[in-house]
Amino acid sequence: MDKITTIQAAMFAALGQQTKISRNGYSIVFIEPQCGRHDLSSDDDRAAAQARNAGLDIDAVTAQQIEAYQAWYERMYQDRRINQARILITRTFGMERGRELVPTNRVALIDGWGCDIDSVAVPCREYWDATARNRIGGVGAVCSEPDYESIERVIAGIRECNPEFGAARVQDNNQRKPTAAECAN
């Protein structure tokens, strides 16, 4: 067993005495700062010094204490991974396709720890706007907007392929205004 895990198990066993769960609920911290900080250093020697300074006997950690810490950590890790996942619709960006830039949105499933699980690029819908100003100042231009019909199909596919993330919230960075029908619901 690595030294940091052993120290974390000792900290877990001392919950409510020398240690507590962090505010965000994802780590165990010292109640009083040890060696200038509440959290555990990632350096083995400094972490051991912090634990000893807090009065923890890291040499007396049992296998049951390590198992208890690892079980808590696994539950907490999976809970955040699943329950804080989101499906992100990026703002429109230019994606290279040959020599041209195609207006595109990326739809990505991101777990609660910030890791990409799945991602699909969705080309925008292009249309002619006779009233828009073009690059040379004239009237009439090709415009683009997110293709929400395709985006919704991609989201459904991502949810189907990743059922454990089926309840992930959707974060749309395009600040789309809801349609009248969506407002009525």
Contact predicate 112/85, CB 8 Å: yes
Can you give the pLDDT at residue 116? Answer: 96
Which residues, in sequence order, are CB contacts of 110 under 8 Å at separation 6+?
85, 86, 87, 88, 116, 117
High-pLDDT (> 90) share of the chain, %: 75
pTM, two decimals, is 0.76
Can you give the pLDDT at residue 183? Answer: 47
How do the domains of the chain map onto residue ranges?
Answer: 3-83, 86-178
Q: Which DSSP symbol is given to 37? A: B
Can you give the pLDDT at residue 185? Answer: 42
C-alpha dihedral, 175 to 179 to 184 to 185, nearest 10° = -60
Instruction: Calculate the CA 141 to chain-centre distance.
Output: 38
Low-confidence ranges of the chain (pLDDT < 70): 176-185
Can you give the pLDDT at residue 127? Answer: 86
Nearest-angstrom CA–CA distance, 21 and 15: 7
Instruction: Calculate the CA 90 to chain-centre distance.
Output: 14
Contact predicate 69/17, CB 8 Å: no
Nearest-angstrom CA–CA distance, 144 and 123: 9
Can you give the pLDDT at residue 140? Answer: 85
Can you give the pLDDT at residue 179? Answer: 53
Can you give the pLDDT at residue 176? Answer: 63
pLDDT tens-place string over residues 40-59? 999 999 999 999 999 999 99
